[in-house]
A = this chain, B = another copy of it.
Amino acid sequence: MATTSGPPTRHPTGATIYSVAERAGVSIASVSRVLQGSQAVSEKTRTRVLQAAEELRYVPLAAARSLAVRQHEAHGLVLPELSGPYYSELLMGFESRAAELGQSVVLMLAQGKQDVPRAVRRLATRVDGIAMLGSSAIPDETVTALGGSKPVVLIAGDETPAADTVRAENSSSAREVTAHVIDHGRTRLLFAGDPSAGPDIRDRYAGFVAAHEEAGRKALPPVPVALREDDGTALADRLLSGELDADALVCANDELALAVMVRLREGGLVVPDDVAVVGWDDVMTARYVVPGLTTVRQPVRELGARAADLLHERITGSAVPRSAQVIPTHLVIRSSCGCAPAPPTLPAPRARPRRTQPDSPSPRTRRKRETR
């Protein structure tokens, strides 16, 4: 640990609007006006103020402004954690939109906090409203209590009268992947994921069941596992040992699906021939693994943006009706489902960073064939 010493650089007790006013030879009102651009000011005082502020390295104190305008101009966001692309994308969408709305974002991660409700209350202290993931392990009562004092939007959470809600479409895409797998002739499908873990997975299982009904069959009960790699490995082991039997697995997310695929292969089974596997999220690895993982892509960025929007509407708009918005998803077909792998086409380089783009207005699932 190298340590280069240097001048202890004082961080001066910042200049205030008063010192700026004084130096510029005007009143604080004028300073405020030019800095906020809230009212016409003569060109002369304008430049003098600007220069004084510059020279003094004036940094306004948001706290003082907030107190005066009675607005924090900040949105709170509560996420469980940040591993995997899901939360990151959500956060990017949220931050981006919030910034466009002139709002700062104060982030809180629930994982690791010993007293989450307390942390949330503390957060509520410095923001105008809070968006949180439904599965952030926040007690319902905390949410309700919060909803009573500040606007709250739940992302992928259960509908509640205390908050607005945004979520991605789940059941119909689940129905679609499941039907797709059934079309491949599979008959013993298993759903991996715990429907009681939240509305997302619950709805996915519902779609799984619906697809079976449409095919005149009966869906097997869900295999309630968590969604991490370990759980996938363990699940595969249960398949390999014969404890579980299936010729197709509909996994509630990609991490799970990928871990299952790898372990099955290690155990001597081949995907998709012996057992087809599909997932959810379309993580980067889904494209790299062989065979490519068929999965459902959610417009997570868009989801985050909508959350920020809704929050803002609720904060500013006086009496918007409670809304539960649903955002459409894509089915991404590769070959782990049983489809023949696309020939190596040496495709053009992948598109650059995907900006959030307006999705088709209908919440219907879209479909897309991809190489590899």
Contact = CB atoms under 8 A, between A and B. Distances in A.
A224 interface: no
Interface stretch (A18-26, A60-68, A178-186): A60-68
B2 A324 contact: yes
A357 interface: no
Interface in A256-287: 258, 262-263, 266-267, 283-285
Interface string A93-116: 001100100001111110111000
A218 interface: no
Given A59-B125, A85-B83, A126-B74, A161 B7 contact: yes
The 3 closest A-B pairs by CB, nearest first: A63-B66, A62-B126, A8-B319
A130 to B, nearest CB: 11
A341 to B, nearest CB: 12
A34 interface: no
Number of copies: 2
Given A104-B108, A289-B289, 11 more contacts: A3-B324, A4-B323, A5-B321, A57-B148, A59-B121, A63-B66, A99-B109, A104-B123, A105-B106, A111-B353, A230-B350
A32 interface: no
A322 interface: yes
Contacts of A83: 85, 88, 92, 353
Interface in A274-308: 283-285, 288-290
Nearest to A328: B1
A361 B1 CA distance: 8
A74 B106 contact: yes
A126 B149 contact: no
Contact of A3 (B62, B162, B289, B321): B321
A136 B112 CA distance: 28
A352 B2 contact: no
A59 B149 contact: yes
Interface in A47-63: 57, 59-63
A82 B91 contact: yes
A147 B326 contact: no
Interface in A325-360: 325-326, 344, 346, 349-350, 352-353, 355
A122 B145 contact: no
A234 B105 contact: no
B147 A9 contact: yes
A228 B353 CA distance: 9
A229 interface: yes
A150 interface: yes
Interface string A110-149: 0111000001011111100000000000000000010111
Contact of A258 (B8, B99, B149, B288): B288
A284 B372 CA distance: 19
A107 B95 contact: yes
26 contacts: A1-B363, A3-B321, A6-B161, A7-B161, A8-B319, A8-B321, A9-B147, A11-B150, A14-B149, A57-B148, A59-B121, A59-B149, A61-B67, A62-B125, A63-B66, A63-B126, A82-B89, A83-B88, A99-B109, A99-B113, A105-B106, A112-B355, A230-B349, A233-B350, A234-B349, A283-B284
